[in-house]
């Protein structure tokens, strides 16, 4: 319970910080901190249930603060958590470069998801994908900040008592030979 409360507090702070940054610098240069935290949780958190609850809660808070359709970011955050969880089990997403590439790709998919769901539930809005340059710039900014947020998430989890540093990337077991 302690890691979940700590991460929820950090997530709420991240959403507020993102809002402040968005008012000071252009939106394309503002990292999506709650999205990055959800991806980091997908690769670092042991409990899938806790991660899903945190992802949906942070997504719902993002919906409330952004003024978008209620449930839009909550759904996309849950899907991002699931994608990060599944990919981290199959791929080594512990290094900075693999995390950055994964976060950049997932940012592009998330932007398409926002556009598609907005067009589906609000047909008068149309399919509003940002210009490609803006979208790629935002994905690059998220890719830069992704490993930093993942490292911070790992520190918070270690502080809260859910240290995952002992997990090996590849399990090596000794063979036993019987004669």
Q: What is the DSSP string of 2-56?
A: HHHHHHHHHHHHHHHHHHHHHHHS-GGGS--HHHHHHHHHHHH-S-HHHHHHHHH
pLDDT of residue 93: 83
Output the average pLDDT for the chain.
Answer: 85
Report yes or no on whether pTM surpasses 0.75: yes
Q: For position 175, what pLDDT does the model report? A: 67
Arithmetic mean of pLDDT, 39-47: 90
For the chain, helix, strand, coil in percent to 5 are 75, 0, 25
Count of CB atoms situated within 10 Å of the CB of 55: 31
Pick the residue with more confidence: 68 or 19?
19
The pLDDT value recorded for residue 144 is 96
54-82 pLDDT per residue, tens: 999 999 998 888 877 888 999 999 999 99
What Å distances lie between residue 44 and 27, 48, 73, 83, CA to CA?
Answer: 27, 10, 21, 13
Average pLDDT rounded to a whole number, residues 85-102: 90
Burial class (CB in 10 A: 0-12, 13-18, 19+), 65: middle
* Spatial distance between the Cα atoms of 102 and 80, rounded to a whole number of angstroms: 11
Between 11 and 1, residue with greater pLDDT: 11
Q: 100-128, pLDDT tens digit by residue?
A: 999 999 999 999 998 888 888 877 766 66
| Averaged pLDDT, 38-59 | 91
């Amino acid at each position: 319970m302690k890691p979940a409360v700590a991460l929820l507090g950090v997530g709420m702070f991240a959403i507020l910080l993102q809002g402040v940054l968005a008012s000071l610098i252009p939106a394309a240069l503002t990292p999506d901190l709650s999205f990055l935290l959800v991806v980091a949780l997908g690769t670092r958190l042991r409990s899938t249930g806790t991660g899903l609850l945190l992802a949906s809660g942070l997504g719902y808070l993002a919906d409330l603060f952004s003024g978008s359709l209620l449930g839009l970011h909550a759904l996309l955050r849950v899907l991002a958590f699931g994608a990060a969880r599944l990919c981290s089990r199959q791929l080594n997403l512990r290094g900075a470069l693999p995390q950055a590439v994964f976060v950049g790709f997932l940012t592009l998919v998330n932007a398409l998801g926002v556009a598609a769901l907005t067009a589906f539930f609000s047909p008068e809005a149309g399919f509003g994908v940002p210009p490609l340059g803006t979208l790629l710039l935002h994905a690059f900014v998220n890719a830069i900040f992704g490993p930093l947020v993942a490292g911070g998430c790992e520190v918070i989890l270690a502080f809260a008592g859910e240290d995952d540093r002992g997990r090996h990337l590849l399990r090596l077991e000794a063979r036993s030979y019987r004669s």
